[in-house]
Structure 1
Amino acid sequence: MINFNGNLLFQENIKLSTENRGFKYGDTIFETVKVLNNKVVFWEDHYFRLMASMRMLRMKIPMEFTLEFLEQEILKTVKVQNEASSFRVRLSIYRKDGGLYTPKTNEVDYLIEANENAYQTKKIYSIDLFKDFYNFSGLLSTIKTNNRMVNTLASIFADENDLDNCILLNERKGVVEVSNGNVFVVKGTIIKTPALTEGCIKGIIRKKVIEILAKNKEYTLEETIISPFEIQKADEVFITNAIIGIQPITNYKKKVFTTEIGEKLASNLKVLQFVGN
């Protein structure tokens, strides 16, 4: 069942009009969260990112949109699904119908979808560059809007070339992220991830990994510009998102990576998921 503005409805009963602004203009933002054992993982981080995104896009935040209210709406949606312990939940918020580029109102509707999360990290995971189109740098690119065309085309390219994922580049040909998450590059004791100014999503698991590394004196974390050449020379590469957590990369072109640091960080992250936000 789907949660539409607080009402639980069967999917076939959800009716979106041709004036839906998410459909016509991509005027939508979303959060993808993991619900594990009836707990929304890292919910505070997701919530505050969502509120910041709504303010940036000049959406009117309803008074009832408290942290507790939206968390309960997510859990309410999960409870009417099957008996699985892990769910992938998408919370979409979009401006109400009407208007052309200028909306009739900045008030919003919301929609929550929940599906069983059966994802398992892969032992072999291959990536390559996607160079057909660029993910332009800038603050707007750090927000999870509904405009995911470059990500879609990169995913099609990966599927056509028997890859698991693709690295997106910005207009300066710097590494931004992968089609569904952030990316980290390890060389010796230095771990790099693209700076937000490169145009990457302000990922929640990216944030958590940075926090873990800040407490670990063994490694130095740099948020910086990364060239594709550095990936070729790296010891390890891993990607992050809210559903997979950390997925080590094993193959890039002819390069084979080790996975020790990525796996260690993945274990640390799992502990955080169970301990709390």
Structure 2
Amino acid sequence: MLLYNGEFIPEAELRLPVTNRALQFNDGFFETVIVADGRLRFWNEHVSRMHAAAKTLKLELPQTIVSGELEDKLLQLASQNSAANYGRLKLKLWRSGAGLYIPETNAVELLATILPASPSTTSSLHIGICETITTNYSPFSFFKGPNALLYVMAGIEKKEKGFDDMLLLNRQGQVSELTSSNVFWMKNGVLFTPATDTGCVKGIARQHILRWAKQAGIKTKEVYFDVASLMKADAIFAGNVTGIRSISSINGTPVTIDDTFVEQLRKELFA
């Protein structure tokens, strides 16, 4: 079952016109939400990012998003697809109507899909340094959708080279993010992560990790580091809404792992 513009429909009944603006112009964005134990994980933060993305794209979000009606229907959708215990939900929003570069309307259409899933593994990651593409800071780079092709190309390189993930750099050679996670590292008791104007997504887990660290009295810095500086860290890890994983090597070179700190984060944020 799908949720399309507020209505539950079987997947086979979904019909989208060839003028669909998501297809024609990638005119929209998406959110990936984890359903766990009958709840939408970090839902309020997802709603906040949707509002920020819609404001940037001049889209008019449906009232159901702020009224709580959408949250209820998404949980119903999870139950209908046997994904209430744990599932991966994708919420796609795009500008309605036809038109060319000048749209007919700023109203939004909405499609939600969900599949049962298993919690993310906690094994460490062996990552490579992406050579195919770089991240590009723009008004659209903090949310998901407009830059999706960048991550597709990085994903192809990851598959070709056999790494678990790829470290993306910006045009200045500064560390930005992984293909689907933000990257963090500890050095001398300080928690670092790339600044959003390196072109990285303003991840939901990123916000929670930084907030938790500050509340725990851990100093945090959003920075501009090159790979050589990153390699000197006391511990490096990746985080997104599915969980947190240590990074154990970069381009085949081992790096320090601090599973104690990473496990503490998992317990505090994803238990």
TM superposition score category, shorter chain reference: over 0.9
Asked whether the equivalents of residues 139 and 196 of structure 1 are also in contact (C-alpha less than 8 Å), the reply is no
Q: Deviation of residue 27 (structure 1)? A: 0.8
> Aligned equivalents of 1:27 and 1:232: distance in 2?
38
Asked whether the equivalents of residues 3 and 112 of structure 1 are also in contact (C-alpha less than 8 Å), the reply is yes
Aligned to 1:250: 248
Aligned to 1:265: 265
Aligned to 2:42: 42
Q: Deviation of residue 53 (structure 1)? A: 1.0
TM-score by length of structure 1 reads 0.92
Q: Percent identity?
A: 28
Q: Deviation of residue 67 (structure 1)? A: 4.5
Q: How many residue pairs get matched?
A: 269
> Aligned equivalents of 1:64 and 1:168: distance in 2?
36
* Partner-residue secondary structure (3-state), 1:56: helix
What is the CA deviation profile of residues 177-197 of structure 1, one whole-angstrom value per residue up to 9, with x for unaligned ones? 100011102222122101112
> Aligned equivalents of 2:222 and 2:57: distance in 1?
25
Aligned to 2:158: 158
TM-score by length of structure 2 reads 0.94
1:104-143 equivalent positions in 2, closer than 5 A: 104-143=104-143
Residue identity opposite 1:236 in structure 2: A
Q: Deviation of residue 131 (structure 1)? A: 2.1
> Aligned equivalents of 1:207 and 1:127: distance in 2?
23
Asked whether the equivalents of residues 47 and 67 of structure 1 are also in contact (C-alpha less than 8 Å), the reply is no
Aligned to 1:205: 205
Aligned to 2:238: 239
Asked whether the equivalents of residues 21 and 97 of structure 2 are also in contact (C-alpha less than 8 Å), the reply is yes
Aligned to 1:26: 26
1:36-185 equivalent positions in 2, closer than 5 A: 36-82=36-82, 85-185=85-185
* Partner-residue secondary structure (3-state), 1:141: coil
> Aligned equivalents of 2:41 and 2:258: distance in 1?
25
Residue identity opposite 1:5 in structure 2: N
Asked whether the equivalents of residues 83 and 114 of structure 2 are also in contact (C-alpha less than 8 Å), the reply is no
Q: Deviation of residue 84 (structure 1)? A: 5.5
Q: Deviation of residue 83 (structure 1)? A: 5.8
Say which is worse superposed, 137-146 or 36-45, in terms of deviation: 137-146
What is the CA deviation profile of residues 73-122 of structure 1, one whole-angstrom value per residue up to 9, with x for unaligned ones? 21121110126511111111101131111111111110001111214324
Aligned to 2:13: 13
Q: Deviation of residue 146 (structure 1)? A: 4.4
Structure 1: 5+ residue runs without aligned partners?
Answer: 272-277
What is the CA deviation profile of residues 31-80 of structure 1, one whole-angstrom value per residue up to 9, with x for unaligned ones? 11111111111111111111121111100123333251221121121110
Q: Deviation of residue 3 (structure 1)? A: 0.7
> Aligned equivalents of 1:57 and 1:44: distance in 2?
20
Asked whether the equivalents of residues 56 and 139 of structure 2 are also in contact (C-alpha less than 8 Å), the reply is no
